[in-house]
Homo-oligomer: A and B are copies of this chain.
Amino acid sequence: MRPRADDTLAQRLARSTSVRSEGAALRTADVAGWLAERARAHHFRVERIPLDALDSWFFAADTGNLHHRTGRFFSVEGLDVSLDEGAIRRWQQPIIRQPEVGILGILAKEFDGVLHFLMQAKMEPGNPNLLQLSPTVQATRSNYTGAHRGTPVKYLEYFTDRSRGLVLTDVLQSEHGSWFYRKSNRNIVVEAVDHVPVDDDFCWLTLGQIGELLRRDNVVNMDARTVLACCPVAPAEPGALHTDAELLSWFTVERSRHDVAVERVPLAGIDEWERGEHSIGRADGRYFRLVAVGVEAGNREVTGWSQPLFEPTSTGVAAFLVRRLAGVPHLLVQAKVEAGFLDTVELAPTVQCTPENWTHLPEPQRPCFLDVVHAADPDRIRYAAVHSEEGGRFLNAESNYLFVEADEAQAPLDPPTGFRWATPGQLNNLAQHGHYLNVQARTLLSCLNAGTVRLDHGV
């Protein structure tokens, strides 16, 4: 018999967040050098190739769907979508289907009473800078059951064998609903009890050190960000605009009220998408392209491969508008429909879109609050950095991530349908459960958990 919750965990995470300039292994200022050294230590080269040059991948004769010859990893299929609201209510698109649940796991351990997290210097073909700081383990089931006949996944046993550590959080979270069909991954943090040998490409960092690195563009990868967002930091808050019960009730209504009809269809012949030699894309250049790359690598589970990637045609924006009510920060969340979600909506940042995709539409049809973000005075921008999405599936998929201060004129306390004010503590509680917060919201919440931005005082 034990207490149901570890009351010291939030304090221990807060302590790790407060250690920002030097950890047990490296000074924060030296991390960039260490990453550069790891990049030099390995041969890793990515080049675009024609779709027909994909090795081990084939377009099925009947459907045109793109599959791996083993039937594993993932496939690219077509999706037909009908919605009941919004500027665009019917479309078809390619979508990645990957029914397997992957593991995104970070190993934690206390050194001198401070929690450190074992981060990996990992190259992914889609990263603009190839190498980023990643979770200890980032693996699909095909990876770790050896479908690609490579070397074993390091540290995997901490996440598959419960006796090796103490679980701090372990939750199934969605990935990008615009690009994945009902994909989710386990987001896990396990605290090791015994000595952990540290491999060359790995380094112990505090939450505060990772928080400092989140100020820079394209250093902390998406997989690390989403796991850190799930850490139960439980910020103390004297109150909120809406009670927890009201917030859940609003979410329940939002999830219930939408009619979203999604059908998987053959990739061949979906409306407005055309196959060229190097890509499948749209004539108007919007949204994204399906492309192919060849990879030469020295430190990966396999030493060379080719694969398809989705390449967005423009840079995204993901921004939370922020207000303080009686001193407590509140974020304006959006219950956003994404076609690939398991269940209609998840909570997204106030603004989440690729502005370029909306310029052909008249102003009133463009995303709410995008103008507020675009017009924000620099001194109202509390956080801005460019982060890329998962480099194993997406090529140069960069977005501007922001926290922007707003006032009643820009962001009223009684916002439009589909929007609601919630505190970081309320969202952190929801992050302990799956399918409440989308992956873009989780990137921004990771910046709060890691102390990159503090919202409890004004500019």
User: Across the interface, which residues of B come within 8 angstroms of A256, CB to CB?
Assistant: 101, 172, 186
Q: Is the CB of B252 within 8 A of A328?
A: no
Query: In whole Å, how far is A249's beta carbon from the nearest beta carbon of chain B?
Result: 4
Binary B-proximity of A338-365 (CB < 8 A = 1, otherwise 0): 0000110000000000000000000000
0/1 string, A233-263, CB within 8 A of B gives 1 = 0000111111111101100110110010000
CB distance from A338 to the nearest CB of B (A): 16
A370 in contact (CB, < 8 A): no
Residues of chain B with a CB closer than 8 A to A188's CB: 249, 252
- Give the complex CA separation of A47 and B425 in angstroms: 55
Query: Would A244 and B1 count as touching, CB distance under 8 A?
Result: no
Complex: chain B residue closest to A239, CB-CB: B1
Distance between Cα atoms of A186 and B250 in the complex (Å): 11
A398 on interface, CB distance cutoff 8 Å: no
Interface hub of A2, A249, A326, A426 (most chain B Cβ within 10 A) = A249
Convert A153-175 into 0s and 1s, putting 1 for each residue whose CB lies closer than 8 angstroms to a CB of B: 00000000010000111111000
Report Cα–Cα, A186/B259, bound state, in Å.
15
Asked if A255 contacts B425 (CB within 8 A), the reply is no
How many copies of this chain does the complex contain?
A: 2
Q: Are A243 and B4 closer than 8 Å at their CB atoms?
A: yes
B4 touches A425 (CB 8 A): yes
A6 at interface, CB cutoff 8 A = yes
Are B240 and A1 interface neighbours, CB within 8 A? yes
Q: Say yes or no: B170 contacts A248, CB within 8 Å.
A: yes
Q: Which residues of chain A from 1 to 23 have a CB within 8 Å of any chain B CB?
A: 1-6
Cβ of A438 under 8 Å from chain B:
no
Q: Which residues of B contact A388 (CB under 8 A)?
A: none
Which one of A169, A252, A255, A343 has the highest number of Cβ atoms from chain B below 10 Å of its Cβ? Answer: A252
By the criterion CB–CB under 8 Å, are A2 and B252 in contact? no
A contact residues vs B (CB 8 Å cutoff): 1-6, 99, 101, 162, 167-172, 186, 188, 232, 237-246, 248-249, 252-253, 255-256, 259, 325-326, 328, 342-343, 423, 425-426, 432-434
Contact sample, A vs B, 13 pairs, CB 8 Å cutoff:
A1-B239, A1-B240, A3-B238, A4-B237, A4-B423, A101-B256, A167-B249, A169-B248, A170-B245, A170-B253, A172-B252, A248-B433, A342-B343
